[in-house]
Amino acid sequence: MIIQEDDFKAEQLSDDSIFWDLNLLRTKKKRDGTIVDELGDTIYGLPLDSVMKRIVANRIARNNKDKAITMKQYLDEWKQEMVKLSNLSLSDK
Model pLDDT for residues 16-52, shown as the tens digit of each residue: 999 999 999 988 888 898 888 888 889 999 999 999 9
Range of the domain at 8: 2-91
pLDDT > 90 fraction of the chain, expressed in percent and rounded: 63
Q: Which residues contact 78 (CB under 8 A, 6 or more apart)?
A: 56, 57, 60
User: Residue 45: left if φ>0, alpha if ψ -120 to 50, beta else—which one?
Assistant: left
Domain count along the chain: 1
- On whether the CB atoms of residues 42 and 23 are closer than 8 A, the answer is yes
Rg value, the chain, Cα: 15
Maximum alpha-carbon separation in the chain: 46
pLDDT for residue 93:
45
pLDDT for residue 54:
95
Amino acid at 91: S
